[in-house]
Amino acid sequence: MRKLTKSERLVIERLIFPESFEVLLEETNMPFGSLRDDIMNLVNYRFVEVVDLDKAEENGVSFYDTDNIREFSFRATKTGLKSIRQPAT
């Protein structure tokens, strides 16, 4: 399993429940670009999924626009939650 960076671990720890990108910015105090990069990496490795909070089922979204990442919400996957139990790098 891929080892997480400290900032990626911080992001996943905030995504036990679905959160918007704006809330993640506030909670992590990370710069916009760093958080955007971490989210994109975590989505690509399937540690985090994009969700639509407007739908009651909170189904995963099949795609998201990284140019408009502020419009999306995210949640840790089962794999992502397992990864934060591994020792930090």
Q: What is the pLDDT of residues 13-51, one digit of tens each?
A: 999 999 999 999 999 999 999 999 999 999 999 999 998
Average pLDDT of span 49-71: 72
**What pLDDT score does 63 carry?**
65
Pairing of strands 48-51, 73-76: antiparallel
Residue ranges of domains in the chain: 6-83
Domain 6-83 listed as CATH 3.40.50.11540: no
Give, in order, the Cα–Cα distances in Å from 15 to each of 21, 53, 78: 10, 13, 11
- Taking the C-alpha atoms of residue 13 and residue 55, their distance in angstroms, rounded to an integer, is 23
